[in-house]
Structure 1
Amino acid sequence: MRKTRIAIVGAGLAATPHALALSELNEEVEVVGIIGRSRERLARFARTYGFPVSESFEAVLDDPGVDAVLVLTPPHTHLELVAQAAAARKHVLLEKPLDISMPRAEGAVEVCREAGVQLGVVFQNRFRPAVERLAALTKSGALGPIAYAGVDLRWWRPQSYYDEPGRGTYARDGGGVLMTQAIHSLDILMWLAGDVSTVVGATATTASHSMEAEDFASAALKFESGAAGQVLATTAAFPGFPERIELIGADGTAVLEGGHLRVFFRDGRVDEFRDPSSSGFGAKPMDFSHTAHRDLLKDFMAAIREDRAPLVTGDDALRVQRLIERITARTRQRQ
């Protein structure tokens, strides 16, 4: 089997789990180069993982042997990078979110569609074992029709996290806790419960942080299926707690807290599953295993080889971003 040849764009915080994952997948993927703004960071990254440093993004795009690019740069840079890659007929795996606004996010999806290249998005939590187990249970109908689906994410980030230039701003990140942290849980929520018809949301920036965007958000939801829903998300809950996703069905209730899944069936059965992986809910945002990233990358490479859509598509990411925009609409209107 020919190795898929991929270039990495960006060597910041998000690059580490991808680099670890790609190192494990070296029998099926070749990292042809890494591109970034900081020469010092690139050199350190190259020493650590043994990946070559590419001359430029343009050089990567001009190389007919490169199959795909992995874009790990800040959100406000995504559209232009994706558009260049699509024009060069390179498949794209893009770190979430798609971009900082709906028009730019829609543009990223559209340029890939028009060019006929695959666009995958890094919602790696879909590949966590407890989430996969919950998805299989839900999609099999074992819980019965869903009556309620909710997310409760009470994480912690110290002020030093938001002191990095641009972090937590609309111009670079497109928002706060919803776009950067809760977006993963919201993706799982919509993956399992479907699209949302009604949203009543509220957001705030609490006294815990000095930042432009929200560090607290809540919303009441109604899904197109008729199910009720709820979202609570914050990075102001010291010291941080595992996120909770709850699905209440006619035949049972499933509660996923971090990697701990419990299912309570109406007939008295209780199913329990523990996945030891964490999700970086405390002061160390990268305190989690890279195995879900590895499995997401493996699926993306297979999608290229098999000429099919990856498990997480650009359209999936658009659905989640539209929900976030609806939750934050009142806040953005007041700006």
Structure 2
Amino acid sequence: MEKMAAVLIGAGMIGESHVRALSGLRDQIGLAAVVTRRPEGAMYLAEHYAGERPVFTADLEAVLADPAVRMVIVATPPSVRIDLIAAIAAAGKHVLLEKPVARNLAEAEEVVKICADAGVSLGMVLQHRASLPAKAAAELVAGGTLGALGHVEIIAQLWRDQSYYDELGRGTYARDGGGVLLTQAIHSIDLALSLTSPVSEVQAMTCATPLHQLEAEDMAVVGLRFACGAAGSLVASTASFPGADEMVKLHFSHGSLAIGRRRLDIHWRDGRHEVVGYGIGDAGPSPENYIWHQGVIADFAEAITQGSAPMATGEAALAAHRLIDAIERSSRSGAKVMVGAA
């Protein structure tokens, strides 16, 4: 594959993960620039990049005018997405976007339309799909040997200290669009939905627990009904000290899958137990995260070159947004809600 020039927009806490991932891909993808409102405060990122030092700049227009740049990684808060992506798409650059797509479903649909209308690819950094356990699970599900899906468990019981929410705007609807569902649990939600039929209806309760001060939710408990007839549950929290491994469990007629961050357990109904992975890791940051980001970025670059769909498209990510929208509506009304219905 011909070496491709990439740009990173945003130098927040996830910026280091992208720079480390790009460092490992520097022979295939060069990091040409890091665009941020305060370039001097982002220059520390160069310490994590082994290739030629990127330009640090606030001049997005100049960066987008560079014909060598083909892909732009957007890692800004959701509150500044739409105009930014419109400018990138108008310049003909392909967009790899940190989750979520936007603050709410309507904005997310607008982002997807902007890129489609401009004829540029929109990929999502939903890196859990790139993990070894997730890829092995996807292969098994696609093979059909597990039988019919009957029960789904989505578990994201995490912990964030109050200092996390003390950052200006974090956990607010204006900046983030929500709380644990959009910011953390969306990874597990997306992974589950990539392996199941769509969710047709939900019954939900969400709230902010007394353990945090934030505008949006830090806890959600949801009953799910899938289009295929399967039933399920979603439990998500950033108030579950000390935090646990995120998990998606899929129970089929011939066996069950337990998909963790570092390990896939396969329990067959005939008594066999198979393991794919390398042990059980904790819920905190680990080197695997950089590897997963590398997988997403490399896949996106290849998709651009081949003219194919990336691992997680913006359109596919709308499934998680539609589900989260339905969960929020159900929680507000106290009633069962159909996913996708107004």
Equivalences for residues 5-84 of structure 1 within 5 A = 5-49=5-49, 50-84=53-87
Measured after TM superposition, the shift of residue 52 of structure 1 is 1.9
Separation of aligned partners in 1, 2:48 and 2:315: 35
Equivalences for residues 1-335 of structure 1 within 5 A = 1-49=1-49, 50-275=53-278, 278=281, 281-282=283-284, 289-331=289-331
Which one-letter code corresponds to 2:55 in the other structure? P
Measured after TM superposition, the shift of residue 91 of structure 1 is 0.3
Measured after TM superposition, the shift of residue 289 of structure 1 is 3.1
Separation of aligned partners in 2, 1:88 and 1:131: 34
Change (3 A) 1:114 1:169: same
Q: Verify the 8 A CA contact 1:67 1:91 in the aligned structure 2.
A: yes
Measured after TM superposition, the shift of residue 276 of structure 1 is 5.2
CA deviation profile, 1:231-270 (whole Å, cap 9, x unmatched): 0000101111101211110101111233222111112211
Separation of aligned partners in 2, 1:6 and 1:119: 14
SS in 2 for 1:291: helix
Measured after TM superposition, the shift of residue 150 of structure 1 is 1.5
Measured after TM superposition, the shift of residue 177 of structure 1 is 0.5
SS in 2 for 1:328: helix
Separation of aligned partners in 1, 2:183 and 2:97: 14
Separation of aligned partners in 1, 2:308 and 2:192: 24
Per mean C-alpha deviation after superposition, the further-off stretch among 33-42 and 180-189 is 33-42
SS in 2 for 1:44: helix
Give TM-score, length-normalised by structure 2. 0.92
Separation of aligned partners in 2, 1:275 and 1:41: 37
Residue matched to 2:338: none
Measured after TM superposition, the shift of residue 143 of structure 1 is 1.3
Q: Verify the 8 A CA contact 1:129 1:275 in the aligned structure 2.
A: no
Number of aligned residue pairs:
331
Separation of aligned partners in 2, 1:313 and 1:195: 16
Give TM-score, length-normalised by structure 1. 0.94
Separation of aligned partners in 2, 1:275 and 1:15: 27
Which one-letter code corresponds to 1:81 in the other structure? L
Measured after TM superposition, the shift of residue 55 of structure 1 is 5.0
Measured after TM superposition, the shift of residue 92 of structure 1 is 0.3
Q: Verify the 8 A CA contact 2:202 2:330 in the aligned structure 1.
A: no
Separation of aligned partners in 2, 1:292 and 1:235: 22
Separation of aligned partners in 2, 1:278 and 1:36: 33
Q: Verify the 8 A CA contact 1:46 1:52 in the aligned structure 2.
A: no
CA deviation profile, 1:83-120 (whole Å, cap 9, x unmatched): 11111111000000011011211111001101111000
Separation of aligned partners in 1, 2:197 and 2:72: 30
Separation of aligned partners in 2, 1:270 and 1:258: 18
Separation of aligned partners in 1, 2:218 and 2:195: 25
Per mean C-alpha deviation after superposition, the further-off stretch among 4-13 and 47-56 is 47-56
Q: Verify the 8 A CA contact 1:156 1:240 in the aligned structure 2.
A: yes
Which one-letter code corresponds to 1:289 in the other structure? N
CA deviation profile, 1:54-108 (whole Å, cap 9, x unmatched): 3511111112221111100001111111111111111000000011011211111
Q: Verify the 8 A CA contact 2:197 2:228 in the aligned structure 1.
A: yes
Measured after TM superposition, the shift of residue 286 of structure 1 is 7.0
Q: Verify the 8 A CA contact 1:61 1:85 in the aligned structure 2.
A: yes
Residue ranges of structure 1 left out of the alignment (5+ in a row): none
Change (3 A) 1:61 1:112: same
CA deviation profile, 1:281-305 (whole Å, cap 9, x unmatched): 35xx677530010011000000010
Residue ranges of structure 2 left out of the alignment (5+ in a row): 335-342
Structure 1 segments of 4+ aligned residues over 6 angstroms from their partners: none
Separation of aligned partners in 2, 1:276 and 1:114: 44
Separation of aligned partners in 1, 2:91 and 2:289: 33
Which one-letter code corresponds to 2:14 in the other structure? A
Change (3 A) 1:19 1:84: same
